[in-house]
Amino acid sequence: MTSADLTVAPSAGARTHATWYCWLLSGLYVFSVNVQGNVVPFLQEAFTMSYRAVSLHSSATATGIILVGLFGERVAARLGRRRSLWLAAGGFSGGGILLCIAPAPWASILACFVTGLLGALAPAVTPVVLADLHGPRRAAAYAGQGIVAYCYGLAAPLLSGLAIWAGLGWRAAVLAGAFVGIAIGLHFRRLGSAELGAAPDAVSAAHAGARRESLPPAYWAFWSMVVASVSLECGIVFWAPAYLERVVGFSAAGAAAAAAGFPLGALIGRIALRTLVARVVLRRLLITSLAVVALGFVLYWGIGPPTVAVVGVFILGLGIGPTFPLGIEFCVGAAPKARDLASMRLAIAFGLALLAAPIALGALADVMTLGPAHLALPVLILAAFITFFVGEALQRRAALVVAE
């Protein structure tokens, strides 16, 4: 880290540029993960892989994300925020290019691992950057981050479908994401660590202090809430099309179209969150969001005409959309003295949910069929409620101890 990185606190303009840098990198990360799901069927056909073998691609991505959550703070401490985000942009781009030129399954799996390992530095570093830049208004910044991320997530299947329809092949969509990553890195290359929220007098000390500070019990309760909510999202995204086709009775094309109501609802939920965070108490927003998720599940899973299930899918997305940005806010807010470490450990929550939730729901479906297996979803909703209230109770207890 050079002395040029440690000059002055970020101005309003620098804050805006740094905020967009964080938002765009987070969005590209979601695009990189989502686009893999769209190209895996083509890899399976090209390499004649079994379903078990092809699932190693998502497992490799999730493993890389978890490793960042476990050890990423050491990388960030050594490289600083500026170079860490450069490495993340390089991970998106390099992983995508490797995926396109992979000659065998081991190479495509390695490409997914690179995307998960290096690319995950973006969502691991950006929460603390946004927290330092926006202070008490960080919830609005997280909401904006969520909107951009979901827009990128929706772009992945749309761009993949367009590229295949145009005869360009799936590689065109992946390479487009890689080139966007390079462009983002080049455009924001002049942002220094100070402009990314690092204190001028304690850039390296912040990382060292975060490693010395332990994360409080309240953090881990809110962290568990994030695991539950992201598991809900991953399970629905992965299995809703199959459920709507095999249980509700839609055609394959109709089920795919109906399942699109989930990301649409989630995007609308995050757009609404951006406005509501300045007007409504955050705990009320989270409790309401989880209640909406519960209502959506009743309509989605309950016995009724297919149109009700479609409405349920949309309401599920509407409720689940705000939960991740709010979860980040509560986690980072619970560890004010260790924000860097708190931000890194959130990557583990996402990686675990991505790795375990779809597989666990599929395993339950093998045992009890897909319909009854979906009863695992209200268990996750209940777990999110419980862990949130436990986190609040632990925060109040810690405040009382400090007051004494």
Find the CATH number of the domain harbouring 261.
1.20.1250.20
Last residue of a domain, one of 197, 212, 227: 212
Same domain? 47 vs 158: yes
Same domain? 63 vs 74: yes
Q: Per-residue pLDDT averaged across 96-124, rounded?
A: 88
Model confidence at 115, pLDDT cuts 50, 70, 90, reads confident
Q: Which residue has the higher pLDDT, 78 or 221?
A: 221
Same domain? 386 vs 278: yes
Q: What is the pTM for the complete model shown? A: 0.80
Has residue 317 been placed in a domain? yes
Q: Per-residue pLDDT averaged across 275-287, rounded?
A: 91
d(CA 181, CA 314): 31
Q: Per-residue pLDDT averaged across 1-16, rounded?
A: 47
- pLDDT > 90: percent of the chain: 22
3 phi/psi in degrees, rounded to 5: -65, -25
Same domain? 278 vs 395: yes
N-terminal to C-terminal alpha carbon distance within the chain: 41
DSSP string, 87-119: HHHHHHHHHHHHHHH--SHHHHHHHHHHHHHHH
Alpha helices (runs of H) in 260-338, residue ranges in sequence order: 261-276, 282-301, 306-320, 323-334
Same domain? 195 vs 59: yes
Cβ atoms of 90 and 118 within 8 Å: the answer is yes
- pLDDT > 70: percent of the chain: 88
pLDDT higher than threshold 60 for residue 147? yes
Q: Per-residue pLDDT averaged across 224-239, rounded?
A: 90
Last residue of a domain, one of 212, 238, 253: 212
pLDDT higher than threshold 50 for residue 201? no
Span 367-402, pLDDT tens digits: 888 889 889 999 999 999 999 999 999 999 887 766
Same domain? 117 vs 261: no
Write the DSSP symbol of residue 375.
Answer: T
Alpha carbon of 87 to those of 25, 117, 125, 133, 148: distances in Å? 11, 10, 11, 21, 20
Has residue 1 been placed in a domain? no
Q: Which of 360, 381, 171 is nearest to 286 (CA)?
A: 381
Same domain? 276 vs 386: yes
Strand extents, DSSP E, 149-306:
none
Model confidence at 213, pLDDT cuts 50, 70, 90, reads low
| Tally of domains within the chain | 2
Span 284-296, pLDDT tens digits: 999 999 999 999 9
Strand extents, DSSP E, 13-166:
none
Last residue of a domain, one of 162, 188, 212: 212
Amino acid type, 371: G
Has residue 246 been placed in a domain? yes
Domain holding 258, by residue range, is 214-404
Same domain? 17 vs 165: yes
Has residue 62 been placed in a domain? yes
Has residue 20 been placed in a domain? yes
| 86 token code pair | 């450069």
Model confidence at 218, pLDDT cuts 50, 70, 90, reads very high
Residue 4, pLDDT score: 35
* Sign of torsion over alpha carbons 188, 191, 197, 203: positive
Has residue 263 been placed in a domain? yes
d(CA 316, CA 381): 11
Helix-, strand-, coil-residue percentages of the chain, each rounded to 5: 85, 0, 15
Has residue 5 been placed in a domain? no
Has residue 2 been placed in a domain? no
Same domain? 180 vs 295: no
Same domain? 205 vs 218: no
Span 85-108, pLDDT tens digits: 888 888 888 888 998 998 888 898
Residue 193, pLDDT score: 65
Same domain? 261 vs 351: yes
Same domain? 169 vs 142: yes
